[in-house]
Structure 1
Amino acid sequence: MSDDQSSPSSSSFSNTSHADSADGNGRRNFLRDTALGTGALLTVSTLAPAFAQQAPAIVTSERLRPQVDSGAMSGDITRDTAMLWSRTDRAARMVVEYSVNENFKDALTIAGPAALARNDYTARVDLRGLPVSQRLFYRVRFQDLQHESAWSAPVTGSLIIPGGGERDISFAFSGDEAGQGWGINEAWGGYRVYETMRRFKPDFFIHSGDQIYADGPIQAEVTLDDGSIWRNLVTPAKSKVAQTLDDYRGNFAYNLMDANKKRFMAEVPFLVQWDDHEVRNNWYPGQVIGEAEKRYQERELNVLKQRARQAMFEYNPFRIDVADPERIYRAFNYGPLLEVFMLDERSYRGANSPNRQSVQGQDAAFLGAAQMRWIKQALLRSRSTWKVIASDMPISIVVPDLNPDVPQGTFEAWANADNGKPSGRELEVAELLRFIKRHNIKNVVWVTADVHYASATYYMPEKAQFTDFKPFWEFVGGPLHAGTFGPGEIDRTFGPDVRYVSIPADMKQNRSPADLFQFFGIGKIDAKTKVMTVSLHNVDGKNLFTVDLPPEV
């Protein structure tokens, strides 16, 4: 997962049945098989001739050919490695051909794992020894396991692994996808923000969570404020809250029906983390859904989260940590210019509460002790000029927990709205910021999402209740395609100076994507000056805010 961890040459998920997914042995077997998948590096001539250009001529019936309707995507790129992911509709072997030449001259080929029903026909291959700062072209086919002459049509894509220091690095960041009932409206253009981001040609994309809204059913029609009708594509899985493994899978599969997203993910690698809606709004480990929430029959969040985590791993190009297969936090090194640190603010948190604890402990945990040790040491080891921390929740924007089965005055994020000395989860923020200052770790920038509007905030010790930290920036993106909310209340504990907010202070809540309040960020590091330029944009790409950050030397 992070650079200093070993991982297999390729991997596929071996999933459990619904009955097993909540069972300890079933989960351990699933995670073990996930981490131990293998593949073989071949030349094109080693494979059946059907893999070459003449493949369609061998198949006599289209129905015998595996279908690859979900496209292909890459992710977890770091140093000289990349994960490739795809999904088919039947038992078939994933085969990947890749080359630095767009015509696939001198291509290498990997015969990857089998996509089987037990993994929802998803498969992934880990490519190693790839060129840095050079576009790599790939194509994916699936060979039917029952009809060896039947090959899918190729799905093509490309990627760049930034690094080396001679070339500028750019990345996009955002989150919050298909929320509040706003799904794929093909007449409006689908998930238009993905096509807009693609035109910026980022080297990779940080998806800061809420990849799906498992607790947000989508209806076929929604009446807008002007009386017009917003028409969604609807599937069975998106017509109810997710509870079974197949429900969660169906939520991820729904977003891959969008043509804009598939085009984007074929060209731009993903780094993904999870937030709450991958499972259920504002969830935390050990939670039991209260009786005020009527939609759920399965009320144990620990059961739901394991099903959700399995589906998320199946539907993303994750590189699994062999030593800790459930681990989501990880780091990605891009050489002398940039390293990215992806946090997990769900798996280890304590229960949502008034968030006013005076000392650290499990009830006030957000990252947890092990992850805190990891991020400290990872930052300390980093030799990159810029260190980007991807947090799935913002630091100072107050996020109350408004679930019907939760008492009022309960908080979901870091902040507790008291504007005072750090308490509750803020104690972890203070600990990390103090560590960064005392070890003089330079050029740390935070990016996040979750709150459904964009903002830029500069944290200043001279304005803070807690002052033992170096000034830093935090940038919020999102939503990608969901209801727009906010702006949120700001907690003043860490001296936030809000430099930009993308929406009016009195905005109507849950604005539809048709109102164009969908947002993302772009970060770009100049290889010569090492200046990082961060800009915030709307769904049409309009530049809303830009700041140049010269590096501290």
Structure 2
Amino acid sequence: MTGRQHYEAGLFTAYKHLSREPDLDAIFHYGDYIYEGAGGKGCPVGEETTDRSRICFRKHAGGEIYSLDDYRRRYAQYKTDADLQAAHAAAAFLSSYDDHEVDNNWAGDEDQDATPREVFRLRRAAAMQAWYENMPVRRSSFPVAGGLRMHRRIDYGDLLRVQVLDTRQFRSGQICGAKALDRCLPMGSIPRPTILGEAQATWLEQGLGGGQRWNLLAQQVMVMPFLYPGTRGAGRTNLDSWSGYAASRERLVAAIRARNLTNVVIATGDAHQHHAGVIPSREGAWDSPPVPTEFVSTSISSGGDGVALSDEWKGVPADNPHCKLFDARRGYQLFDISRDVWRTDVKVVDRVTSPGGSLSTIARFAVQPGQPSLSSA
């Protein structure tokens, strides 16, 4: 599992190591294959700062992307990277998109800048067309008026069912805009908030419990509740994640429990951090019995080199007892799935801001199909 590859923020060294992993069957890319920003935005080329993560080590071509030609050019630039090419050659990609394939923190037909919806839909249509052209997805995902169908199922015999979800296109508007975190709507002000939309949520529930030994939900943003350091929007919660759509999380947990499933694993990205934890059975009761297990993979390059645990994050593990891993270095996660055990190796590279970064395994976890919990492997 891998994703979030900001071209300007660092090298794609992790892909070189990933391409050399033996016996790869597939690579789940959770999204942010490209970034939409203008060249040098947020990390000016050549600027010497004490925070090396803000230095651009290579530059996007052109300004912020809006048209179909813009998006096509950005994909072409990313695909010139030899390490990314090696990863594509090593195994099939199970690709999803997140926000930066279109625009940061977009939700449904709304963007972060309060652009008129009919105008933003044109940008989203161009972005989805370019995504379809550049990702190895089925013909059933061919874009049509209004969007495309990205969510889909992939079965590996009776061992594994993968349900790839779309947590962007059908979600309700967000409580807090990305540029107005001090002006949040009250919780509950959006009627029936949803992160999947009714049709996709029903489709997902129908696919659970299909007889496979494992159910994998491959998706984009963190499902487990989580308290971050400092202030994020309406408190310490990332409202761009499932925590901004708690009713959707409750519905997912209820669907899993109604089918007596103990074999559900969620693969997630977005957070620029490695995490591993569980989703409690009751909202607000983090010590309640766990239902699914969740693995959150860090980025390939976004955020620069990163550190295991910054000073700002020192108190975060104690605030999140249901989460067992906190590491902000770059890398990926490797899943080894057998009938009797699911094993996850957490991999990091020591740097992406210069060539030659070395790889190490910082944690190993095991999950049993009859017990939604984590143990060290």
TM-score computed with the length of structure 1 as normaliser: 0.54
- Please say if 1:433 is aligned against 2:264: no
Find 1:474's aligned residue among 289, 294, 303. Answer: 294
| Structure 1 residue 459, shift from structure 2 partner | 3.1
| Structure 1 residue 300, shift from structure 2 partner | 2.9
- Please say if 1:344 is aligned against 2:162: no
Q: Which residue of 2 aligns with 1:375?
A: 204
Q: Which residue of 2 aligns with 1:357?
A: 188
- Please say if 1:321 is aligned against 2:146: no
Q: Distance in 2 between matches of 1:467 and 1:455?
A: 17
Q: Distance in 2 between matches of 1:228 and 1:365?
A: 34
Q: Which residue of 2 aligns with 1:284?
A: 107
Find 2:16's aligned residue among 155, 175, 195. Answer: 195
Whether the aligned pair in 1 keeps the contact of 2:250 and 2:283 (CA below 8 Å) is no
| Structure 1 residue 235, shift from structure 2 partner | 5.0
Q: Distance in 1 between matches of 2:52 and 2:271?
A: 27
Deviations 1:241-274 (A, max 9, x none): 1111111112211111111111111121101111
Q: Distance in 2 between matches of 1:489 and 1:309?
A: 40
- Please say if 1:451 is aligned against 2:254: no
Whether the aligned pair in 2 keeps the contact of 1:209 and 1:273 (CA below 8 Å) is yes
Q: Distance in 1 between matches of 2:25 and 2:37?
A: 32
Q: Which residue of 1 aligns with 2:216?
A: 388
Deviations 1:2-21 (A, max 9, x none): xxxxxxxxxxxxxxxxxxxx
Q: How does 1:91-106 map to 2 (within 5 A)?
A: none
Q: How does 1:35-434 map to 2 (within 5 A)?
A: 173-178=1-6, 181-183=8-10, 190-201=11-22, 202-215=24-37, 217-218=39-40, 220-225=45-50, 232-234=57-59, 236=61, 239-287=62-110, 290=113, 300-321=119-140, 326-353=148-175, 354=185, 356-357=187-188, 361=192, 364-380=193-209, 382-395=210-223, 396-397=225-226, 411-416=239-244, 425-434=245-254
| Structure 1 residue 327, shift from structure 2 partner | 0.4
Question: Counterpart of 1:386 in structure 2: which amino acid?
Answer: W
Question: Counterpart of 1:214 in structure 2: which amino acid?
Answer: E
Whether the aligned pair in 1 keeps the contact of 2:9 and 2:57 (CA below 8 Å) is yes
Q: Distance in 1 between matches of 2:283 and 2:112?
A: 40
| Structure 1 residue 518, shift from structure 2 partner | 0.3
- Please say if 1:522 is aligned against 2:334: yes
Question: Counterpart of 1:542 in structure 2: which amino acid?
Answer: S
| Structure 1 residue 320, shift from structure 2 partner | 2.4
Q: Distance in 1 between matches of 2:189 and 2:54?
A: 50
| Structure 1 residue 530, shift from structure 2 partner | 2.4
Q: Distance in 1 between matches of 2:286 and 2:67?
A: 44
Structure 2, unpaired ranges of 5+: 176-184, 350-357, 372-377
| Structure 1 residue 223, shift from structure 2 partner | 2.8
Change (3 A) 1:399 1:274: farther
Structure 1, unpaired ranges of 5+: 1-172, 184-189, 417-424, 504-516
Whether the aligned pair in 2 keeps the contact of 1:244 and 1:307 (CA below 8 Å) is yes
| Structure 1 residue 366, shift from structure 2 partner | 0.7
Which secondary structure state, in structure 2, belongs to the residue aligned with residue 340 of structure 1? strand
Whether the aligned pair in 1 keeps the contact of 2:3 and 2:31 (CA below 8 Å) is yes
Question: Counterpart of 1:197 in structure 2: which amino acid?
Answer: L
Change (3 A) 1:490 1:308: farther
Q: How does 1:24-35 map to 2 (within 5 A)?
A: none
Higher relative contact order (CA 8 A, sep 6+): 2
Whether the aligned pair in 1 keeps the contact of 2:46 and 2:56 (CA below 8 Å) is yes
Which has the higher Rg, Structure 1 or Structure 2? 1
| Structure 1 residue 550, shift from structure 2 partner | 1.9
Q: Which residue of 2 aligns with 1:98?
A: none
Q: Distance in 2 between matches of 1:175 and 1:205?
A: 10
Deviations 1:334-360 (A, max 9, x none): 112111111101100111114722896
Question: Counterpart of 1:525 in structure 2: which amino acid?
Answer: I
Whether the aligned pair in 2 keeps the contact of 1:288 and 1:300 (CA below 8 Å) is no
Question: Counterpart of 1:543 in structure 2: which amino acid?
Answer: T
Q: Distance in 2 between matches of 1:322 and 1:261?
A: 23
Which secondary structure state, in structure 1, belongs to the residue aligned with residue 35 of structure 2? coil
Q: Which residue of 1 aligns with 2:366?
A: 548
Q: Distance in 1 between matches of 2:53 and 2:325?
A: 32
Q: Which residue of 2 aligns with 1:111?
A: none
Whether the aligned pair in 1 keeps the contact of 2:2 and 2:299 (CA below 8 Å) is yes
CA RMSD of aligned residues (A): 3.7
Whether the aligned pair in 1 keeps the contact of 2:159 and 2:212 (CA below 8 Å) is yes
Change (3 A) 1:541 1:340: farther
How many pairs align?
A: 337
Question: Counterpart of 1:305 in structure 2: which amino acid?
Answer: R
| Structure 1 residue 441, shift from structure 2 partner | 2.3
Q: Which residue of 2 aligns with 1:141?
A: none
Q: Which residue of 1 aligns with 2:345?
A: 535
Whether the aligned pair in 2 keeps the contact of 1:215 and 1:281 (CA below 8 Å) is no
Question: Counterpart of 1:531 in structure 2: which amino acid?
Answer: V
TM-score computed with the length of structure 2 as normaliser: 0.78
Aligned-residue identity in percent: 24
Q: Distance in 2 between matches of 1:225 and 1:306?
A: 39
Whether the aligned pair in 1 keeps the contact of 2:263 and 2:370 (CA below 8 Å) is yes
